[in-house]
């Protein structure tokens, strides 16, 4: 969800106003994803590197996170959304960590839609943690080095149990992944939306989904191999 700050700056507004508008946009996009038949949406809300921002902005972001959770809880429940968090939540302030954990628990039987919020998340940090877990299991004799395969790695990622992303949308016209789901994105289609996140509305989502639908996914095979058989 990139571009809140630049959206605000372009309008002469404080950065936090951009974040507030971005948060409102997220609610709309969750609804639009459910309506479009998407089953899982992962949003990069706060990166492990975002702590480097001014304290006022960091605390403003957490306050916003707490507010949005509280303000839209009933709506999430109504739409049977299951909330997940990836990232190191132990470092988050208690006023946001505690309600988050409550909702993660209370929504765990919801199956209509997975909303995964990446908070204090970094893909390299996630990979390091998985490597440590593998090393510890090998050192303890619970796992043979030869038995380390992709399934063993994947099971130790924070996204274990969730599907890999089919589509990654990067807003704000930047062309990079910025430490987001680096392993899970191996075969993801990437769409770069030329608008700041607060301007990423339902119509923008439809454009991204249409672009995704035009892509041919081959997973290393030839086009002929992956083409569905021609309809009679
Ligand atoms: C939102 O946009 C991303 C968050 C960390 C919430 P930015 O804050 O990165 O906006 P820009 O990139 O400065 O425009
Ligand atoms: Mg940014």
CATH value at residue 178: 3.40.1180.10
Ligand 2 center from residue 98 Cα (angstroms): 26
Rounded Cα gap, residues 83 and 56, in angstroms: 27
216 falls within a domain: no
Atom 5 of ligand 1: nearest residue by CA position: 46
How many separate helices (H) and strands (E) can be counted in the chain? 8, 5
**pLDDT tens, 90-146?**
999 999 999 999 999 999 999 999 999 999 999 999 999 999 999 999 999 999 999
Q: How far is CA 165 from the centre of its chain?
A: 9
pLDDT at res. 227: 73
19 lines ligand 1 (CB under 6 A): yes
- The residues annotated as belonging to the active site are 2, 50
- 189 assigned to some structural domain: yes
Measured distance CA(4)–CA(26) in Å, rounded: 12
Rounded mean pLDDT, 23-27: 97
Decide if pLDDT at 230 tops 60: no
Which structural domain, as residue segments, surrounds residue 182?
Answer: 4-209
- What is the C-alpha to C-alpha distance for residues 121 and 181, in angstroms, rounded to an integer? 9
Residue range 214-218: mean pLDDT, rounded: 94
Task: Using alpha carbons only, give the angle 117, 134, 161 rounded to the nearest 5 degrees.
Answer: 35
Checking if the pLDDT of 170 tops 60, the result is yes
Q: Which two tokens stand for residue 122?
A: 């970094």
Query: For residue 2, how far is its CA from the centre of ligand 2 (angstroms)?
Result: 5
DSSP type of residue 200: -
**In the chain, what is the greatest distance between 2 CA atoms, to the nearest angstrom?**
62
- Which residue's alpha carbon is at the smallest distance from atom 9 of ligand 1? 2
Q: Among residues 161, 132, 137, 158, which one has the least CA distance to residue 147?
A: 137
- Residue where the block lists tokens 């507004």: 13
Q: Return the pLDDT at 232.
A: 44
Is residue 231 one of the residues assigned to a domain?
A: no
> Which residue is closest in CA terms to ligand 1's atom 12?
3
Q: What gap in Å lies between CA 167 and CA 62, rounded to an integer? A: 27
3-state helix, strand, coil in the chain (%, to 5): 50, 15, 35
pLDDT above 60: residue 190: yes
In percent, the amount of the chain with pLDDT more than 90 equals 97
Rounded Cα–Cα distance for residues 145 and 142 (Å): 10
Mean per-residue pLDDT for 64-71? 97
Neighbours of ion ligand 2 (CB under 5 A): 2
Mean pLDDT (whole number) for 172-196: 98
- 87 Cβ inside 6 Å of ligand 1: no
Ligand nearest to the CA of 121: 1
| 222 is a domain residue | no
Residue 28 lies in a domain: yes
- Pocket flag, ligand 1, residue 32 (CB < 6 Å): no
- Does 147 map to a domain? yes
| Confidence at residue 36, expressed as pLDDT on a 0 to 100 scale | 98
Closest atom of ligand 1 to 45 CA is: 6
* 96 in Cβ contact with 59 (< 8 Å): no
Could you tell me the distance, in angstroms and rounded to a whole number, from the CA of residue 185 to the centre of ligand 2?
20
Cα distance between residue 93 and residue 121, in whole Å? 15
183 C-alpha to center of ligand 1: Å? Answer: 23
End-to-end CA distance of the chain: 43
**Residue corresponding to tokens 């990166």:** 47
Q: Convert the pLDDT of each residue in 2-15 to its tens digit.
A: 999 999 999 999 99
Q: Is 6 in the pocket of ligand 1 (CB under 6 A)?
A: yes
Torsion angle in degrees (nearest 10) through CA of 114, 119, 123, 125: -130
How many domains does the chain fold into?
1
Does 139 map to a domain?
yes
Q: Print burial letters for 159-191: b (CB count within 10 Å at least 16), e (below 16).
A: beebeebebbbbbbeeeeeebbbeebbeebbbb
CB of residue 120 inside a 6 A radius of ligand 1: no
């Amino acid at each position: 969800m990139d571009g809140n700050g630049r959206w605000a700056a372009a309008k002469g507004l404080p950065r936090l106003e951009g974040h507030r508008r971005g948060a409102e946009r997220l609610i709309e996009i969750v609804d639009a994803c459910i309506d479009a038949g998407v089953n899982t949406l992962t949003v990069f809300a706060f990166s492990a590197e975002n702590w480097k921002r001014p304290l006022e902005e960091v605390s403003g972001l957490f306050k916003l996170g707490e507010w949005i959770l509280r303000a839209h809880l009933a709506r999430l429940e109504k739409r049977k959304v299951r909330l997940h968090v990836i990232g190191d939540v132990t470092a988050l302030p208690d006023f946001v960590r505690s309600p988050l954990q409550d909702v993660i628990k209370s929504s765990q039987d919801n199956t209509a839609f997975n909303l995964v919020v990446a908070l204090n998340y970094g893909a390299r940090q996630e990979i390091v943690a998985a490597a440590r877990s593998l090393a510890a299991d090998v050192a303890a004799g619970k796992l043979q080095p030869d038995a380390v395969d992709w399934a063993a790695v994947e099971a130790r990622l924070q996204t274990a149990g969730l599907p890999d992303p089919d589509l990654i949308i990067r807003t704000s016209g930047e062309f990079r992944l910025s430490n987001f789901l680096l392993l899970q994105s191996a075969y993801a289609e990437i769409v770069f939306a030329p608008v700041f996140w607060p301007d990423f509305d339902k119509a923008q989502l439809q454009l991204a989904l249409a672009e995704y639908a035009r892509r041919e996914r081959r997973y290393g095979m030839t086009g002929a191999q992956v083409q569905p058989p021609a309809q009679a």
